[in-house]
Amino acid sequence: MSEQKDLCATDNTSAHAAKSREPNKARDRELLQRRMFSIKNKIIVMSGKGGVGKSTVAVNLALSLSLAGKKVGLLDVDIHGPSIPKLLNLEDRRPEVRDGAIIPTGFENLKVMSIGFLLDGKDNAVIWRGPMKMGAIEQLLRDVEWGELDYLVVDCPPGTGDEPLSVVQLIKDVTGAIIVTTPQELALLDVRKSVNFCRQLNVPILGVVENMSGFACPKCGEVTEIFKSGGGEQLAANMNVPFLGKIPIDPSMVDAGDSGKPFVYFYSKTETAKAFGRVVKPILDRDLNENGPAPADKLFQKEKKHMKIAIPLAQGRLAMHFGHCEQFALIDVDTDKKEIIGETLETPPPHEPGVLPRWLHEKGADIIIAGGMGSRAQSLFSQQGIEVVIGAASEEPEKIVTAYLEGTLAAGDNICDH
């Protein structure tokens, strides 16, 4: 497939309808908004690197939400490598078109849509540039008759390119992102980019999922760390984002993917399927109140337009141990314009457990960027409602804050663990 076509043109009749459809940007925007208004929570599933099992996680998360009694849609926007049709054994499906709207296909109660359903052959290559990708994604969001949903799970391709950017720009009120990684450092390096992508675009991060974390014995269920485990959890702690859980390797997962049998549906009693349930629970818990699902903007607050960022200083540069700093730079920023609008220097009180978090809270700090910080101190800052970013290099405070606002702050390892 070398050129874009109207996605509604899946047969001769619909092709004629698509041809007669006159472009109307105002009407298209209104229809897109109406479709999205009927969906309470829109969740994008991302990964910094390919091969971490992101699509498998997206499918099983969506099905776990559906099995919990929620109305769920699953949208595959991986234009060049759509995996969802294979994972759900839907490769031979072609969606129906009614009155110019695409009717999603599905598995059980899960509504599913993928560019893979619209290709002439599963081996065909999609050779599209960025604007064509965005146009196709817009059609998948706008022209698919999703109906009323509790959740729309969007499976994005690896990285921070055209597809996830298009989804965020088109939906506008994305509930949040789930970032999938494996425990190895090579994958974790790119997860940091995904976190910064979300922060730069003001997309709340619902959490990190550590996939392929240990091996679940198919006979006894015991999980053995045959490779490595805990890297995703540690990264989530260092970057102060939620950690949703670990998904162990299960040999049945490979068979399930190859045969199109969704794992949590056909292997519900395994330890790995139970792990998916634990990952989904915090998401479901956020969505509960006595009147049913709460509006997304109440559940996952986006970053404030104006924030105050605290930087511990020693000799005018970031102090690697925040508790032994000489001063704090308190920098006011405009997150919309991504610029510094004010700065003051404050001398902190003597360092004692719990004193600095309370003091910075009283000063109005929203974020502290540090070189190193122990887990106990991180917890105390969290209790005061202050986000912690760890592993920053010893640079001038203005340079650090500018990098944070631009999403290019290189956060390394936590150099302190006491």
How many angstroms separate the Cα of 264 from the Cα of each of 59, 208, 283, 319? 9, 19, 17, 47
CA distance 225 to 213: 7
Rounded to the nearest 5°, which phi and psi values hold at 380? Answer: -65, -40
Q: How many CB atoms lie within 10 A of CB 316?
A: 11
For residue 417, being part of any structural domain is answered with no
Residues 87 and 56 in one domain: yes
CA distance 350 to 12: 76
DSSP annotation of 372:
B
For residue 20, being part of any structural domain is answered with yes
For residue 7, being part of any structural domain is answered with no
For residue 414, being part of any structural domain is answered with no
CA distance 76 to 53: 14
Residues 255 and 277 in one domain: yes
Residues 271 and 312 in one domain: no
Residues 293 and 315 in one domain: no
Q: How does pLDDT run along the chain (418 residues), one tens digit per residue?
A: 444 446 655 444 344 444 444 457 777 888 888 888 889 999 999 987 777 888 989 999 999 898 888 999 999 988 776 788 888 888 888 888 888 888 998 887 899 998 878 766 555 655 555 567 778 888 888 999 999 999 999 998 877 777 888 888 888 789 999 999 888 766 677 778 888 888 888 889 999 998 887 776 766 666 667 666 677 888 888 888 898 988 888 877 777 767 677 788 787 778 888 888 888 888 888 765 333 433 333 333 334 568 899 999 999 999 887 777 889 999 999 887 888 999 999 999 887 777 888 899 888 898 899 887 776 777 677 667 788 888 888 899 999 999 888 877 765 555 554 4
Residues 231 and 130 in one domain: yes
Range of the domain at 322: 306-406
Residue 189: the pLDDT is 74
208: β partners: 179, 243
Domain boundary among 264, 299, 334: 299
Residues 339 and 397 in one domain: yes
Nearest by Cα to 66 from 264, 247, 249 = 264
CA distance 363 to 348: 11
For residue 5, being part of any structural domain is answered with no
**In total, how many domains does the chain have?**
2
Residues 192 and 87 in one domain: yes
For residue 4, being part of any structural domain is answered with no
Angle subtended at Cα 245 by Cα 59 and Cα 406, rounded to the nearest 5 degrees: 85
Residues 235 and 99 in one domain: yes
Residues 74 and 49 in one domain: yes
CA distance 340 to 266: 53
Cα four-point dihedral sign 200, 202, 208, 212? negative
Domain boundary among 265, 299, 333: 299
Domain boundary among 255, 276, 299: 299
Q: CATH number of the domain that 355 lies in?
A: 3.30.420.130
For residue 112, being part of any structural domain is answered with yes
Residues 265 and 337 in one domain: no
Q: CATH number of the domain that 209 lies in?
A: 3.40.50.300
CA distance 207 to 287: 15
CA distance 252 to 240: 33
Residues 53 and 135 in one domain: yes
Residues 48 and 67 in one domain: yes
For residue 394, being part of any structural domain is answered with yes
